[in-house]
Amino acid sequence: MSTETPVTSNKKRRVVLAGITVAFLAAGAAYAAWYALVASKRVETDNAYVGGNLVNVSSQVTGSVVEIRADETQLVQAGTEIVRLDPSDAEVALAQAEARLGTAVRQQRERYTSVAQYEAVVDQRRVELKAKQEDLARRAPLAADNLVSGEDVAHARRAVDDAKAALTVAQKQLAAARVTVAGVSPAEHPNVLAAKADYLSAWLAARRNAIVAPVSGYVAKRSVQVGSRIAPGAPLLSIVPLDQLWVDANFKESELRDIRVGQAATVEADIYGSKVVYHGKVVGLGAGTGSAFSLLPAQNATGNWIKVVQRVPVRISLDPKELAAHPLRVGLSATVDVDISHKGGSALGTVAAPAPAYATTVLNQPLQQAKAATDAIVARNMAN
């Protein structure tokens, strides 16, 4: 039998209940303090994925693939030749363009020479007109004295009229010839300039048989094969620059109220777990929800409508040094935590800077070299 009295048992029960109450109150106070100091100043989502630029490489000219110099997973540097097309067609087209340019120059030389020829014809017609007029002047007095027949005088008058008409025709031909060459030299004539442009186009097409990497990165999605006949704009492969990555975190619409551009954020990628933390910042918020830009936008004006919490993508930039130390891949899952304690930033992105966000110079062609080649062709065909 128990020796404890009911009074002692009640005291113990009250002590236990009081301890439990105090523990609950302490836990509630701790949670309230944690929420006020930490949770209310941060928003977190695991609906986040790594994004990046997928640079699609395509050809600018038509041709057959004869070489592929890079395959998937390989690193290529900007400007490296990765695909080569058969140059035969381009070389023939370049030779034809050179021939057309030479022909245009010689045709213009002929036109400039014809101007002097028409000037000589005009001078000749003037001399003939003067001779006919003098002949008529001699016959007219003789006709008055009946020394020559009236028919001879009429023939002389017709000869003068014919000479005048011939002079007018020659002058018109001279004017037309001068119009075609007035104001420019043979080398700068519009027809020659058009032939020069055709040569430049053929020269560029010949150089573009070598397809180069526009940016440095890793090859992905290679679809081109040796022997394929490709058309301009057809995708050949993609290049992913893994040093230009970001994270798109899809926050609920109820969590966007305090998110501002410039706020600090931490990112944990599933590939590394909590051992690696990336530090970034908010660089912008999407202009609409994911459903608004989907292929089939939701139609909410229906009788069986059910409200679904929408999400808006928030772009988080990453530190390039941290990316270099722990590389990521496009499409990886991540968890994003944004510090919303600082609300001084803007909820909308700022106006884009005048400088380009992305650019490449490896596709630029040395046009001065091509122009020098056209000048050499013109000089060759202008020589006497």
Mark whether 82 and 107 lie in a shared domain: no
Q: Confirm whether 254 is domain-assigned.
A: yes
**In DSSP terms, which residues pair with 212 in a beta bridge?**
81
Mark whether 271 and 351 lie in a shared domain: yes
Q: Confirm whether 290 is domain-assigned.
A: yes
Please state, in angstroms and rounded to a whole number, the distance separating the CA atoms of residues 362 and 83.
15
Residue 49 tokens read as: 């994925």
pLDDT for 290 equals 79
Residue 187 tokens read as: 């080398």
Tens digits of per-residue pLDDT, 118-131?
888 888 888 888 88
Tens digits of per-residue pLDDT, 51-66?
999 999 999 999 999 9
Q: Confirm whether 78 is domain-assigned.
A: yes
Whether the Cβ atoms of residue 246 and residue 317 lie closer than 8 Å to each other: yes
**Overall number of domains in the chain:** 2
Count H helices, E strands: the chain? 6, 14
Give the residue among 50, 42, 38 at the shortest CA–CA distance from 259: 42
* Domain at 112, CATH number: 1.10.287.470
Phi then psi for residue 38, to 5 deg, are: -125, -65
Please state, in angstroms and rounded to a whole number, the distance separating the CA atoms of residues 369 and 200.
10
Instruction: Lowest mean pLDDT of 11-25, 51-65, 254-268, name the range.
Output: 11-25
Mark whether 69 and 163 lie in a shared domain: no
Mark whether 114 and 244 lie in a shared domain: no
- Other residues' Cβ atoms within 10 Å of the Cβ of residue 88: 12
Please state, in angstroms and rounded to a whole number, the distance separating the CA atoms of residues 21 and 19.
5
Mark whether 177 and 227 lie in a shared domain: no
Q: Confirm whether 208 is domain-assigned.
A: no
Whether the Cβ atoms of residue 93 and residue 202 lie closer than 8 Å to each other: yes
Please check the confidence at residue 45 and state whether its pLDDT lies above 60.
yes
Q: Confirm whether 163 is domain-assigned.
A: yes
Residue 141 lies in domain? 99-185
Mark whether 78 and 103 lie in a shared domain: no
What is residue 281's three-state secondary structure?
strand
Give the residue among 368, 265, 248, 373 at the shortest CA–CA distance from 313: 248
Mark whether 254 and 350 lie in a shared domain: yes
Tens digits of per-residue pLDDT, 330-357?
999 999 999 888 877 777 777 666 678 7
* Domain at 70, CATH number: 2.40.30.170
Please state, in angstroms and rounded to a whole number, the distance separating the CA atoms of residues 11 and 16.
9
Q: Confirm whether 312 is domain-assigned.
A: yes
- Confidence label for 33 from pLDDT (cuts 50, 70 and 90): low
Mark whether 56 and 144 lie in a shared domain: no
Whether the Cβ atoms of residue 215 and residue 360 lie closer than 8 Å to each other: yes
Residue 238 tokens read as: 């993609």
Give the residue among 347, 340, 346, 344 at the shortest CA–CA distance from 40: 340
